[in-house]
Structure 1
């Protein structure tokens, strides 16, 4: 009887532990590729769990938190234009009362840079919001650092 009580207690604790884990439906990865001796492209990729989505960089005010990529200024590179993204899925979202653009499964944001040095590391902060059809998670901030080789 003591073994059964111990086993039930362990199972209950295990169940509570797995319920309290932080939900992270988006995984971010980074890369850079030189396109010439003086230019490169930085890639920021979101891999999104099934049923979830992240929002475009171009969501209008009053909607969900848009994806924002802030690059830390540096003397070793210069930004060329703004970060680009593929065509998002656009849908009316009742929760926000407006049409919004978002991405499912995965998305790659790209930023062209002009190189001013041999050794370049692009760093910055990424803010994004993740939702599914039932709920939205609080916006999240992630620091990144991408070596350009």
Structure 2
């Protein structure tokens, strides 16, 4: 009985220790604003912890994972153009041996949509890679659902 109790305690501490190791330095928030009866802009904001950054959508291959967006097909709306981003910071990264463009602190991506109904729910996924000065975390995918009223 004592061995079983010790084993359970060991497993419990191992699980707690492992979950404390998971880093999530990026949080995502979402909003939408109608700009006319038939058009709206969807805002997708990434906020990074101090020292962390995510990459632009426009990176060349051979470097870090660029941020990318995929939107679910819907009869309620149509995408207008591509997802836009503000001007990124660009520098030569010695690790990748190329110029890379990134965003620190926070960044707001925008996607214009044409509404086929008065309201819509824009669903999709964002895939991104986050790094700091000493390491990069594996690319991550986050689903979103944004109500346009």
TM above 0.5, yes or no, is: yes
Aligned to 1:109: 109
Aligned to 2:137: 137
Aligned length: 137
The 1-side partners of 2:144 and 2:21 are apart by: 23
Moved over 6 A (4+): none
The 5 Å alignment of 1:1-149 reads: 17=17, 20-149=20-149
CA offset digits 1:27-68 (Å, max 9, x no partner): 000000000100000000000111010000001000100000
- TM-score, normalisation: structure 2: 0.87
Unpaired stretches in structure 1, ≥5 consecutive residues = 1-12
The 2-side partners of 1:44 and 1:132 are apart by: 21
- TM-score, normalisation: structure 1: 0.87
The 1-side partners of 2:119 and 2:89 are apart by: 37
The 1-side partners of 2:137 and 2:91 are apart by: 19
Indicate if the aligned counterparts of 2:38 and 2:118 stay in contact, CA closer than 8 A.
Answer: no
Q: How much is the aligned-residue C-alpha RMSD, in angstroms? A: 1.7
Shift of 1:18: 8.0
The 2-side partners of 1:67 and 1:91 are apart by: 17
The 2-side partners of 1:40 and 1:46 are apart by: 20
The 2-side partners of 1:110 and 1:81 are apart by: 10
